[in-house]
Structure formats: structure tokens, C-alpha cells
Amino acid sequence: MTQETILGRLDGNTLKELARVICGDEHLYYRRGFEIAQFLENAGWRNVPEYDGEYRSDWALQQLTERRDSPTELEKVLIRLADAREYLEEPHLLPTVISSVNTFLVHEGLRLENPGGRPRVVVCDPAMAHPGQQAPIELKATMTDIITEPRMAALLQRRLDEALTCYSNGAHVAAIIMLGSLLEGVLFTVIEERDASLLRNKRGKFINLKELIDICHKAGWIDVDVERFSQALREYRNFVHPRREFVEAHTPDRDTLTVSWYVVNGALNDLAASQPQAST
């Protein structure tokens, strides 16, 4: 959380939805009345009143409304909702909670994230609220399911997180370039770890992304659809050179980026699914 919060005065309906998530009705993390008060204290609020037994949602909304003119206090609540320490007994609920918050927070031009276990609120394009405008396909595996070397896995995960940050802030070209860089790093590392002999004739030579894609496809690690569209992403990745974008006379937009997300996440999912099982 930054010293100067990016939150403004949240809309009343946003506060109602936030109270609903805190209470945890439906499929979310359920909190009893006194646990809501404890949650607010864990978020860093001081002088939280004792729960008085009224309807949980009404009580939670009352607390939020009383601090509506204190964006820093409301940001603390959002950050705590994305904190894994709130879900030690049911860690699988954390992504669901974050997703639920973002369905209404996006209308404020904000998004709740937890990259690398570090919760934060970032500015985003409100257009992401419309169907098809959000990152379109779920990554079914973590980077450590694909890459064995822990430092490289962490580095590549940071690049994926940065690409998401670019996406959330409408930096379409930057996100696409980052995704192309990520794909290149993942494919090269996968080849090195799974069958370095495939790079034997490339030692001392520059190996480009096109060759990496071809090698992984021929090895059966990525499907033909991912292979074909990865080549298209490779072309857009070359927009890292402004002259290339100028010559093409085309500026990638959100639709281009959405397709790029499909490509990269599809490639990562394929690589995770084709990961050789360690022998016992």
C-alpha cells in the first residue's frame, strides 16, 4: 500500500458489495459477526466497536460507511481481503475472493491483485468490467510446475506479474512485449531442462523465438494451435522496436492483447501438462 492511497471516495453500491464480501455469504469466506470485527482489526483499523448482534451485512456496511471519507482505511480492508493469512484454513478461497472484489471494484477504475503474495490495489481500465475484456483464460499451473530451476521460475513469474500490471493499466504494447519476452524465456528454459540436445547445433549461435516455438511443437510440448498463434505473438513482440510498429502502421489494442493472453496462457498450460513425471 502506498503512502498516498489511490482510492477516492467509493460509491455507496461499492461499499455494499465490499460489505457482502467481508461477510462472506454464498461461496465466499464466511465470517461470523465477531469475526468481522476481528477482520477489521487485522486490517489495521483502530477503535473497532464490538459487534452488537445486528445483521452482519448491515453492521459491516455501517463500519465502512463511517470511514468512507478515509480512503486509506478502506484500502487497508481491500489489502487484507487479498492477504493469504486470512485464509490459512481454506487457502483455495483466496482467488475467489479477489475475483469477487474485482467484479465491482473495476467500476471504480481499480483492481485488487496479489502477485507473489504481495496484495495491492492498482489503477485499471474500467472497460475491463465488460465481458471479454479481462485476461481471458485461466493459468492452470504455477511457473514452478513448468520450470525446475527456482530462481528462473521466480524471474519468469515476475515477468508474468508485470505483464498483468501493464494489462490492468491499459499499457497494451508494453504488455504484449512483456508476454513475448516471457514466452521466449519459458521456452528456452524448458528446452534446456527437458532435452538440451535439441539446442546442440545452436551453441554459440543466436536462437530466436521462432526456432524455440518450432522445437517445442515438434517435441510435442505445445499443441499446434498454440504453435501457430505463438508465431503471431512473436511478430508483435518485435514492436519493441518502434520502427517496426511504424512500418506496420498498426498499434496493438486491447483485442490484440486479449489474444496474446490466450496464446501465452495456452502455451504455459500445454507445457505444464506435458511436463515429464519425475521417476520415483
Q: Cell 508476454 maps to which residue?
A: 179
Check whether residue 181 and residue 94 sit in a common domain: no
- Is residue 56 domain-resident? yes
Q: Which of 166, 181, 141 is nearest to 257 (CA)?
A: 166
Residues 158 and 223 in one domain: yes
**pLDDT profile of the chain (280 residues), mean per 10:** 68 95 86 95 95 92 94 95 92 88 89 83 67 48 85 88 78 87 92 88 71 91 85 79 78 80 86 73
Give residue 82's pLDDT.
94
Q: Of 86, 110, 134, which closes a domain?
A: 110
Shared domain check, 171 and 234: yes
Q: Is 125 a domain residue?
A: no
- Asked if the structure places residue 5 within a domain, the reply is no
Measured distance CA(34)–CA(262) in Å, rounded: 43
199 domain-assigned: yes
Residue 136 has a pLDDT of: 44
Q: Give the domain CATH number at 219.
A: 1.20.120
Q: Is residue 280 in some structural domain?
A: no
Q: What is the pLDDT of residue 2?
A: 44
Evaluate whether residue 123 is within a structural domain: no
- Whether 18 and 102 share a structural domain: yes
Domain check: are 152 and 216 in the same one?
yes
Statement to judge: residues 148 and 264 lie in one domain:
yes
User: pLDDT at position 266, please?
Assistant: 85
Q: Is 132 part of any domain?
A: no
Domain span including residue 106: 12-110
pLDDT at 4 (0 to 100): 55
What 3-state class would DSSP assign to 31?
A: coil
Residue 42's pLDDT is 96
Residues near 156 by Cβ (< 8 Å), separated by ≥ 6?
143, 147, 182, 185, 186, 189
Residues 179 and 236 occupy one common structural domain: yes
- pLDDT for 187 equals 93
Give yes or no: residues 183 and 231 share one domain. Answer: yes
* The model's pTM: 0.53
250 and 177 part of one domain = yes
Q: Residues 176, 60: one domain?
A: no
Co-location of 30 and 92 in the same domain = yes
Check residue 141 and give its pLDDT: 65
Which 3 state secondary structure label does DSSP give 120?
strand
Task: Say whether both 100 and 162 belong to one domain.
Answer: no
Q: What's the total number of domains in the chain?
A: 2
At residue 25, φ and ψ (nearest 5 deg) are: -70, 170
